[in-house]
A and B are shown apart, each in its own frame.
Chain A
Amino acid sequence: MIRIQNITKRFGDYLALEGIDLEIEPGEFIALLGPSGSGKTTLLRIIAGLEFQDSGQVFFNGDDVSERGVGERHVGFVFQQYALFRHMTVAENVAFGLSVRRKDRPSKADIRARAEHLLRLVQLDGLGHRYPGQLSGGQRQRVALARALAIEPRLLLLDEPFGALDAKVRKDLRRWLRDLHKQMGLTSIFVTHDQEEALELADRVVVMDHGRIDQVGTPEQVYMEPATPFVSHFVGETNLLPSGIHVRPHDIEIVADGGLPVMIDNVFRKGGVWRIEGTIAQHDQVVEIDLDASLVAPAPGETVQIRPRRVRNFQE
């Protein structure tokens, strides 16, 4: 179990993290989700021991590792740009962590066998002799993962693991990583600014903003019951209606009368729904509505009445 207790970190005058508390169960797959500057990467690096907190503690299985350097923490870290060693072959990259061990270093043959096994695991068998420069982005990403796994870490940390990939590879790799996590059961934390990625992959999502944790919960919880206006806006889409009501586009229905009058500006097809963009007449406020595609969409220029089906009110 990983326990993070009251972590605070400043960079000069800038408060990067403030009073962070978090507990992670063994085998969990956790997403640290937030916009840039939310402190998510700093938190990940503090857990790894690449950065040190100003105050607070980090425990691995009850063991206080707060003051230990990264080399002693035994964590696997996958860097955003992979940080592969360009002058080493793929196999040498993967074997690096084993070959620099000063005690209990496995034999050369063992190291080679282990590297081969890992390359099979990440589906790169046969590419061990190549250099990172000769691989595609997705392949490099998997080499970075294999290299991190080689030291048999007690915790796997991934910094924006799909950030540098194009959309298609991203999706494939996402699915593959989820399967790999299921198969290995290694406690893993990844940082992302992409809510879709977080919701799809993680067992629990930690939503961060301005150096604080806004909400920790399952993807279902953070989406359906956002704890703060920020979470509501950052995870999924949200309309802010007059009098501070937050409502998702698909939680709005068009009614015959008694609703809020909305002037339709634009209608287009978005996947299985009509996406309707309109303006609330009295308030000059933009609203987005998703309407089931089997219904007849209103035409631009029309005025319709809307009513939220399901709303959240946040007490500020």
Chain B
Amino acid sequence: MTRRRTTTEGTAARRLLIALALAFLGFFLLLPLIAVFSEALKQGIGPFLDAVTSDDALSAIRLTLLVAAISVPVNMVFGVAASWAITKFQFPGKSLLITLIDLPFSVSPVVSGLIFVLLFGAHGWFGPWLAEHDVKIIFAVPGIVLATVFITFPFIARELIPLMMEQGKDDEEAAISLGASGWQTFWHVTLPNIRWGLLYGVLLCNARAMGEFGAVSVVSGHIRGETNTMPLHVEILYNEYDFVGAFAVASLLACLALVTLVAKTVLEWRFDIHGSAKH
């Protein structure tokens, strides 16, 4: 029998390719994930619990949640507004606007932190004025929030723009022509259409907001119990050779990543938001 399939490989080639891909993913992605949990629980559950319930750890968790609780909604409002303007109207300079929104993606996290130090640091442009009025931004929570907002700036807009572009504006025009107000149209027509895409963007934005390291590291000043987020706390513990502690806190972040991945997969699967990632 020489029936040759025209668009697929033989079984042997197929198995080999699958095996290669899985081996690669196993080594580069799965193994690090396993390592986090394994190192965290190396000395049993006791030291693990001690590490994640220490005062410093709890304050890092609180700060991380606070930062995410501010930056995600802020970027959500921005993302929806920008997508509305970009997808429902025709105006010159639109593609420039889209490019500018994506800008933070192409900036190193460290540089993202640096720019806020240059603006608000002690030697920065507004530094003297801020010192005079006793406002602390750098090495304080506002700086961490600012840097995080900058880093996560494009996430939601960039999920919504392609989605709303595809959906067009027929539904909204129909609603307006039936006498709905702008807000009514948004709440009852647009939002239901984009909610899963919005959720998807929020998910990715949140994961990055909670996990951001480089930018936050530059502006935080690493003050224990005050300006340490979870990723920074991981670094401090690690540099103090408290490996179990570092991996314990890291494992919490890894859990966040896993929850994000599961939620993302469920969203993609159930609602087919992203049969394909559109760039």
Contacts and interface: CB of A to CB of B under 8 A. Distances in A.
Interface string B4-19: 1110000000000000
Contacts of A196: none
Interface in B1-36: 1-6
B278 to A, nearest CB: 19
Contacts of A71: 4, 6
Chain A interface residue number, banded? under 10
Contacts of A72: 2
A68 B2 contact: yes
A50 B4 CA distance: 9
A70 interface: yes
B6 A70 contact: yes
| Interface SS of B by simple majority | loop
A37 interface: no
B6 A67 contact: no
Interface in A17-66: 49-50, 52
A69 interface: yes
A69 B1 CA distance: 10
A26 to B, nearest CB: 26
Contacts of A52: 3
A67 B2 CA distance: 6
A292 to B, nearest CB: 47
A68 B2 CA distance: 6
Nearest to A68: B2
A90 B5 CA distance: 27
Contacts of A50: 6
A154 to B, nearest CB: 18
Contacts of B5: 69
A50 B6 CA distance: 7
A67 B5 CA distance: 11
A40 to B, nearest CB: 19
Contacts of B6: 49-50, 69-71
Given A67-B3, A69-B2, A69-B4, 9 more contacts: A49-B6, A50-B6, A52-B3, A67-B1, A68-B3, A69-B3, A69-B6, A70-B6, A72-B2
10 contacts: A49-B6, A52-B3, A67-B1, A67-B3, A68-B2, A69-B2, A69-B4, A70-B4, A70-B6, A71-B4
Which 5 residue pairs spanning A and B have beta carbons closest together? A69-B4, A52-B3, A70-B6, A67-B1, A67-B3
